[in-house]
Amino acid sequence: MNIFKKKIKEEEVESDGVDQTGADWAYSDEVRKHFFEPQNFVTETPKDFNGLGMVGSPACGDMMKVWIKVDPKKEVIENFSWQTFGCASAIASTSMLSVMVVENGGRTIDEALAITPKDIMDRLAGLPSRKVHCSVLGDKALEAAINDYFRRTNQKDRMKQAGSRIIDKELRITDKDIETAVKDGAKTFEEVQAKTKVGTGDPDCLIEAKELVNFYVEKYYL
């Protein structure tokens, strides 16, 4: 059996297509496509880049590197290269993110930063519930690469503080606020919402907020 097929098969089916909690592990055709044929994946460091981001996910055991090439005049990301040795969901999510960033001539920095894990999952036609946190990995590596670009181009005032992405745009609640609530003992979305009020100001953020709660609960308690 092909090593990639073996890997996705092992992750996809623990027991007749479900995990021990009964959650569906079936991968969409789009996830399979980006896992077997990852776009913009590189095996060596690109020669032409001006932003590098590297992050790791304790919940998934993955490490991710992202290189970007930004046109300084237009602030358009012209190239997005990446490496990871992670799970099928992390590979597929980052492959899709790289496509979204550079398609149609490339997105501006602000447009790229506006891409959410939910946007990635929507383009992939979903991820298994236990792998949703993997869509955050490439997103955070891209943010780190953009911060590195700002550092290299003497724009440190534009650098985004790690762990401070705004989730609830009305109440200005960040992913850091959600992480802090989980570290303080909240282990369900309802408990996090009681502490932070996330989602009460901006109902459109509920899906992403719940994904982050699951990610941080796995990170600190599982």
Q: Which residues are catalytically annotated?
A: 60, 134
Torsion angle of the four alpha carbons 1, 89, 182, 193, in this order, in degrees rounded to the nearest 10: -130
Q: 63: which strand partners?
A: 56
- Mind giving me the DSSP string for 5-46? HHHHHHHH-SBTTB-TT--B-PPPHHHHHHHHS-TTB-SS--
CA 134 to CA 93: how far, in whole Å? 7
Q: Are 137 and 64 in contact (CB under 8 A)?
A: yes
- Mind giving me the DSSP string for 132-155? GGGHHHHHHHHHHHHHHHHHHTT-
DSSP code of 160? P
DSSP code of 194? H
Q: 11: which strand partners?
A: none
End-to-end CA, the chain: 32
